């Protein structure tokens, strides 16, 4: 039985078997909490979907379909959720206007192509788009 060794590179754990073979994993989950966002987070519109789709394509990922939901409260629009199905997996965005915060979840598979760097770049672009002054980003490699 092979044992597994770990090493840290770029703030993420990478695993190898005892005989030195890389265990790159099947994918990566990136969870980002974007605090102090300057963009209006109350209302979703098609221009936003178009902008996010362009970001997805600019990093080399493929958008297949999307759906969104607008939330309301007694004062009007109160945030939204949008999920974009990617050929490589998915991207989900949830806004919290009362907190000035956006939650982003991007998952990419690495089955036929390494997509980790593309996903990392996408999250950076989304954080910039929402004008986050305090992004907290977590990376989870899936095996």
By annotation, the residues acting in catalysis are 89, 94, 109
How many residues does this entry show for the chain? Answer: 143
Nearest-angstrom CA–CA distance, 79 and 101 = 10
| Structure token pair of residue 140 | 């989870």
Q: Give the Cα separation of 74 and 44 in Å (integer).
A: 18
CB 84 within 8 A of CB 63: yes
- For residues 87, 129, 29, 72, the Cα torsion angle rounded to the nearest 10 degrees is -90
d(CA 45, CA 50): 9
């Amino acid at each position: 039985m092979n044992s597994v060794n770990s090493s840290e590179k770029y703030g993420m754990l990478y695993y190898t078997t005892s005989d030195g073979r890389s265990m790159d994993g099947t994918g990566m989950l990136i969870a980002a909490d974007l605090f102090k966002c300057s963009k209006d987070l109350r209302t979703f519109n098609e221009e936003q979907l178009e902008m996010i789709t362009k970001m997805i394509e600019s990093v080399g990922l493929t958008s297949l379909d999307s759906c969104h939901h607008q939330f309301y409260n007694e004062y009007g629009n109160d945030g939204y959720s949008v999920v974009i199905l990617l050929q490589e997996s998915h991207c989900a965005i949830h806004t919290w206007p009362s907190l000035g915060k956006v939650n982003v979840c991007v998952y990419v598979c690495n089955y036929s192509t390494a997509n980790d760097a593309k996903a990392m770049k996408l999250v950076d672009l989304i954080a910039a788009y929402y004008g986050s002054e305090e992004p907290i980003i977590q990376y989870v490699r899936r095996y």
